[in-house]
Structure formats: C-alpha cells, structure tokens
Amino acid sequence: ALAEGLRAVRARTGLSLVALAERTAYSKSSWERYLNGKKPVPRQAVEALCATAGEPSGRLLALWELADAEWSGRARLTRPAPQRPSVAVPTDAEDGAVPRRARRGRWPAVVAGAAAALAAVTALLAVTDSDTGEPTGLTASPALDPPPACHGTTCDGMDPGRSFCGLPGRADSLGPVHRSRTGTGVEIRYSSVCAAAWGRIWHAKVGDALELSAVGVRPRRVVIDS
C-alpha cells in the first residue's frame, strides 16, 4: 500500500527517477527500490516526495508507520491462554478521551496524532498532517447525511460507527488485513471525511494486546481481558 501510494504521488509530479533524485537526497536507484517496495523507505524520503509534489504528507506517513511496523517486527501478536474476549482500554490517558471498554469486533480506541503504527491487535486514531499539524483530508460537508460527528483531533475517543466516520463510502482500508497464525485478523481503516484512522479486530483471544503509537502522542495499549 505504501509503495502504491508513493508511485501515485510521484506520477502526479511528472518527474522521472533522475529528476526526482536531483530534487531530493536520494539516488535514482534508491527511488526505484522504494517505489517498487523492494527496500524499506526512510520516513524522510516520504516527506521529501510529498514536499516535491506539494502535497500533504499525512496519509502517506500513516501508511509508512504501518509498513515500518512490519519492517521492524513491531506488528506481532502475543497470545496467552484463550477465554471469553472483550477489549479493556486504559483509562489513565492524558486527554481522558479513550473509551473504557469495547466488545470484540468493534472499534475500540482513538488516538490523536500525525500517523498510526500497528503494533499488535486493534485501535482508532485521528491523523494530522505532520507539516502543518492540521487534520488531513476534507472538512466534513453539511450535505453528508448523517453528518460526521467529529473531524481530526475531535475524533479522539469516539467510536467510528457512532461518529458516522465508518459509514460505507467514507472510509478505505490502509493496506492489507494482518492475520496471525491462529486466525486473528486486524485491519486499519482511514476516513478522509473525518481525518481519522482506526483498527478492527476479529477472532481475538484473551490476552491479545495492541500498542498503538503516533507521532507526538503517548502510546496507547488495549488488552482483551475476558
């Protein structure tokens, strides 16, 4: 998903690999490997490409965080003995905006920040542009029915279903579904209408945990405890 996004941005610049290399600190051969997913992409390269294209970097950086989690081995599931699942969300978050509990198969928690990194199982977050600090995507239009209940950082702590951010046509998957060897599935979705991203989990077991991190935001962790 990241390589595809990078290729799309590069195509909109109209630049050849040689021209792109001349405008950034990365060589033609490096860009060829980055754009084809052959090599991990430095965060600075993503930012440089977006700056060259004159486009906000928020969405590509969200994809970069997910890809970086896979490259660095952070996207791992930990699993003790199974019982009845549900998700417990810590209530000592600094902004106090994380909901206390959420059922398995629902969207549990939202985190405000510049981009999301999947580290284990599930969560939800608002995505901002790292260059401006403003929410990425489009401001919600009053013509939408029902209108979204939040946008950007105001989505922190809200359920994407109840906030209407997750309605059909308002969200897309940020990359492929992540599956464990035991069948647990995790998907990250993004809504440009709400400028927010969230995770969905299914077939989870007691003890499954997710640690979600975002640039400039304290990591959040949810654990299935029953």
Across the range 106-135, mean pLDDT stands at 38
pLDDT, tens digit (0-9, with 9 covering 90-100), for 34-49: 998 888 888 889 989 9
pLDDT at 214: 58
The whole-number pLDDT of residue 226 equals 62
Residue 90 has pLDDT above 60, yes or no: no
Given a cut of 90, whether residue 151 has pLDDT beyond it is no
Indicate the fold that domain 2-55 takes in CATH.
434 Repressor (Amino-terminal Domain) (1.10.260)
Tokens representing residue 182 in the block:
């035991």
pLDDT of 225 over the 60 cut? yes
DSSP secondary-structure letter at 193? T
Place of tokens 């997910």: 66
Q: What is the pLDDT of residue 144?
A: 63
The 10s digit of each residue's pLDDT in 6-22 is 999 999 989 999 999 99
For 112, list phi and psi in degrees, rounded to 5. Answer: -85, 140
Residue 148 confidence (pLDDT): 86
- Is residue 79's pLDDT more than 50? no
Q: Out of 1-10, 82-91, 123-132, 172-181, which region has the weakest mean confidence (pLDDT)?
A: 82-91
Which of 18-22, 78-82, 212-216 reaches the highest mean pLDDT? Answer: 18-22
Region 127-132: what's the mean pLDDT? 45
Q: What tokens does 29 get?
A: 């051969």
Angle ∠(47,152,1) on CA atoms, nearest 5: 45
Buried b or exposed e, range 146-174, using 16+ CB within 10 angstroms: eebbbbbbbbbbbbbeebbbbbeebbeeb
Would you state the pLDDT for residue 32? Answer: 92
Least confident of 13-17, 134-138, 173-177, 189-193: 134-138
What number is the average pLDDT over the span 52-65?
Answer: 84
> Quick one: average pLDDT of 58-72?
78
Structural domain spans, the chain:
2-55, 87-224
